[in-house]
């Protein structure tokens, strides 16, 4: 559990990448499935009881290992800053890609790494082609070809996708309330935060980072829409 929450699904990726489901799998196998089977089979004095209990233990351990393997395959290992947002690639996507093995070893660690995609200026169709392939489960090697290591503290890079969150939420009262509650909960002035769109497993939201040091504050659970983001984009160079 320490590995899961402290490294693989470190906040806010735990919520963004459906970490609660991973916890449910482990809890179900460890605390529900095994004891339930034991309760059904256990009868004092039953012939072969030791064998039955041994089989249950083996089954439970196998199921638990399978659950951990599934969690491992789905965990986020790299976050790519693209032309309009941050995109998350999980362990399976990176492992099954055609990226060189040495490069995979650099990308895959206990915590997510960050890459900046420096798109070729002479190919106007690159973005559409590469990200269509990526969203279909391939094409990561094409993106990696034009990538370089980055840090969220690099303002020159993060500013290309940064959103004026006050302008973005200004048209919806509910969003304004969510934003106010977010700021209050983190006890940090809004003007010290930068908001970056991030594509999560089940939607696109906003990652809040500290404007000075780039440290992740949390994610803001307000949905991202392209038409609203265009008007609220801070950098004139953002597409």
Mean pLDDT of 77-84: 89
Residue 5 domain flag: no
Structural domain ending residue among the three candidates 47, 74, 101? 74
Domain final position from 150, 177, 201: 150
Say if residue 162 is in the same domain as residue 216. yes
User: 83 and 67 in one domain?
Assistant: no
- 163 falls within a domain: yes
Do 63 and 96 lie in one domain? The reply is no
Q: What is the reported pLDDT for 1? A: 65
Looking at the structure, tell me whether residues 80 and 146 fall in a common domain: yes
With respect to residue 47, please indicate whether it lies within any of the assigned structural domains: yes
Same structural domain, 39 and 105: no
Range of the domain at 170: 157-232
Is 80 found in the same domain as 63?
A: no
Residue pair 143/134 in contact by the 8 Å Cβ criterion? yes
Sheet of 147-149: strands edge to edge?
147-149, 113-117, 76-81, 86-90, 193-200, 203-210, 216-220
Enter the pTM of the model. 0.80
The candidate with the shortest Cα–Cα distance to 90, out of 193, 205, 195, 9, is 9
Q: How many domains does the chain have?
A: 3
Residues 194 and 219 occupy one common structural domain: yes
Q: Are residues 62 and 85 in the same domain?
A: no
**Do 109 and 163 lie in a common domain?**
no
- Whether the pLDDT of residue 178 is over 70: the answer is yes
- Segment 103-129 shows an average pLDDT of 83
Query: Is 12 among the domain residues?
Result: no
Percent of the chain with pLDDT over 90: 33
Q: Which residue has the tokens 């939201």?
A: 205
Asked if the model's pLDDT at residue 2 lies above 70, the reply is no
């Amino acid at each position: 559990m320490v590995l899961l929450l402290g490294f693989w699904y470190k906040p806010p990726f735990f919520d963004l990448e459906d970490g609660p489901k991973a916890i449910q799998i482990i809890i179900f196998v460890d605390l529900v499935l095994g004891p339930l089977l034991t309760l059904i089979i256990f009868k004092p004095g039953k012939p072969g009881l030791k064998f039955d209990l041994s089989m249950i233990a083996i089954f439970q351990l196998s199921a638990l290992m399978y659950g951990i393997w599934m969690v491992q395959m789905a965990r986020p290992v790299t976050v790519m800053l693209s032309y309009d947002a941050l995109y998350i690639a999980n362990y399976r996507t990176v492992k099954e890609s055609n990226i060189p093995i040495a490069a995979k070893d650099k990308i895959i660690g206990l915590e997510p790494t960050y890459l900046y995609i420096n798109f070729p200026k002479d190919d106007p169709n690159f973005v559409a082609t590469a990200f269509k392939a990526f969203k279909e489960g391939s094409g990561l090697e094409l993106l990696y070809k034009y990538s370089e290591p980055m840090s969220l503290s690099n303002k020159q890079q993060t500013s290309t996708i940064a959103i004026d969150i006050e302008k973005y939420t200004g048209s919806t009262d509910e969003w304004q309330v969510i934003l106010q509650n977010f700021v209050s909960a983190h006890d940090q002035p809004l003007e010290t935060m930068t908001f970056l769109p991030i594509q999560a497993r089940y939607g696109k939201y906003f990652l809040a980072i500290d404007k000075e040091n780039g440290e992740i504050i949390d994610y803001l659970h307000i949905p991202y829409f392209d038409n609203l983001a265009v008007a609220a984009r801070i950098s004139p160079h953002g597409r």
